[in-house]
Structure 1
Amino acid sequence: MTLYYSIVFGLLVFEMVLFMTLIVPMPFTWKRKLFTLISDSKWVAKLQYYIKITFVFILILFIDSVNRVYRVQVELAQASKNQNGAGAAVIGGSERMEVQARKFYSQRNMYLCGFTLFLSLILNRTYTMILDVLRLEEENKILKGEESADGKNATKLANAGDLGEVGKLRKQLEKKDRDIETLKKQSQGLSDEYNRLGDQVSGNSESTPKKDRDPRISLRKQI
């Protein structure tokens, strides 16, 4: 195994260990401190940056290994066709073993790079889901009236959750609630003003003398 494929294999083992660390059962407080440390660590951020660059090279190796597997398959198919053709030279045993060995190494490299890339996607999604679960558990405790053991960590986890689609929807809902409260206050003010004007008009009509009233109105009432 060449040096770069050895590095890919080491990275695959590291991802497997990290994945087992993420899914291992542990108390809520420990898990919250662990993920808060990972989220706030500058060294972890730099490591993630370099790992992303490494994954770009792994993707290139994966494409190259797929191309090699395809070429070996074509070569084997062509050799079998020549072997079955009339008057063609039969492929030697050592040459066929060499082609089979190249096929094996190409497939091994393809599987190695493919599993490394696939596991990186699983790790990213698992990390995001665990952060969401921690944030929801913290919000559940707050709603139940339980005090958080560490308010600073709770705020950080809540902010981490607000970066997603749920946080955007929550902000929109809060804005709608404020608009509804403003409309209620305006409606109440208009209702009070309407009642005041109605009382004022009814009071003025009652205080008007009978002689000042329009005789046509009396006539209509008689009719």
Structure 2
Amino acid sequence: MTLYYSLVFLLLMVEMGIFCALIVPLPFAVRRKLFTFISESPAIAKLQYGMKITFIFILILFIDSVNRVYRVQLELPSYSKDAGRRSAVGHERMEVQARKFYSQRNMYLCGFTLFLSLILNRTYTMILEVLRLEDKVHQLTGDKKAGGKDSVKLAEAGDAGEIGRLRKELATRERDIEALKKQSEGLSKEYERLGDEFSKENRDSTPKKDR
């Protein structure tokens, strides 16, 4: 196995270890502190950014391994058709079979690494959402330890993805509606003021009839 595929295998083992650590049952307070630390740590944020770049290279290796498997599949029929030269092409056929095996191994290795990265990302987001909902339940049940700074950070971290985007859009539209209401009230008051001034000027400018 070449060096870069050995690194991919090492990364796969690390991902499996992280996934096992995520699903380990822990007390609520411990999990909240742990995920709060993960969500606010600058070092982990830089590590996640580096991992995204690494997964791009793994995707390139995956595409290359799929291409190699396809090319080997095209070579195999040519050896099967030549039945009269089996003794001569036997060694070459074994070589092609070996290349097929290594190509498939590399394809599965890169594919499972990419697939597990998606699972880890989704699992992390779901755990954050569960922690945020559990914290709300503890607040509603009167738990004094619930809420606070950690809860706010978890809520911000749990806003990743489609739900977070929709919440931000909803909050923006609510602010726009409030701004429009204030503008409407201001225009209404200004209209009433101008109407009163206009009515007063009309009364002052109207000549009084002599009795």
State the TM-score bracket (shorter-chain normalisation).
0.7 to 0.9
Identity, % of aligned positions: 65
Contact 2:22 2:124 in 1 (8 A): yes
Task: Determine whether 1:42 maps to 2:39.
Answer: no
Does residue 79 in structure 1 map to residue 79 in structure 2? yes
1:8 partnered with 2:5? no
Residue 92 of structure 1 deviates from its aligned partner by 2.6
Q: Is the 8 A contact 1:69 1:107 kept in 2?
A: yes
The answer to whether 1:89 aligns with 2:85 is: yes
Partner of 1:207: none
Give the 3 Å change call, closer, same or farther, for CA 170–95 of structure 1 in structure 2: closer
Bigger CA radius of gyration? 1
Residue 69 of structure 1, CA deviation: 0.6
TM-score by length of 1: 0.71
Alignment of 1:125-140 (within 5 A): 125-140=122-137
Q: 1:128 to 1:46 in 2, by over 3 A?
A: same
How big is each residue's C-alpha offset from its partner over 1:191-215, in whole Å with a ceiling of 9 and x where there is no partner? xxxxxxxxxxxxxxxxxxxxxxxxx
2:105 pairs with one of 99, 105, 108? 108
Cα offset, 1:72, TM superposition: 0.8
Are the equivalent residues in 2 in contact too, given 1:138–1:148 (CA < 8 A)? Answer: no
User: 1 CA distance for matches of 2:113 and 2:7?
Assistant: 11
Structure-2 residue corresponding to 1:146: 143
2-side partners of 1:141 and 1:163: how far apart? 23
Distance 1:162 1:143, change over 3 A: farther
Gaps of 5+ in 2: 186-211
1:22-70, Cα deviation, whole Å (9 max, x unpaired): 0011111111111111101111111111111111111111011111111
Moved more, 160-169 or 51-60: 160-169
> 1:172: Cα distance to partner?
4.0
Aligned residue runs from structure 1 range 114-193, under 5 A: 114-149=111-146, 151-163=148-160, 165-166=162-163, 168-169=166-167, 172=170, 175=174
Q: Once structures 1 and 2 are overlaid, which stretch shifts more, 100-109 or 162-171?
A: 162-171
Aligned partners of 1:163 and 1:6: how far apart in 2?
32
Alpha-carbon spacing, 1:171–1:137, altered in 2? closer, same or farther (3 Å) = farther
How far apart are 1:147 and its partner, in Å? 1.6
Structure 1 residues 72-105: Cα deviation after superposition (integer angstroms, max 9, x where no partner)? 111001211233xxxx533532222111111110
CA contact (8 A) 1:148 1:154 kept: no
Match of 2:20 in 1: 20
Q: Offset at 1:161?
A: 3.1
TM superposition shift of 1:164: 5.2
8 Å Cα contact 2:139-2:146 kept in structure 1: no
Q: What amino acid does structure 1 have at the position aligned with 2:65?
A: S
CA RMSD of aligned residues (A): 2.4
**Cα distance in 1, alignment partners of residues 110 and 95 from structure 2:** 23
Tell me the equivalent position of 1:69. 69
Mark the CA change 1:42 to 1:69 in structure 2 (over 3 Å): closer, same or farther.
same
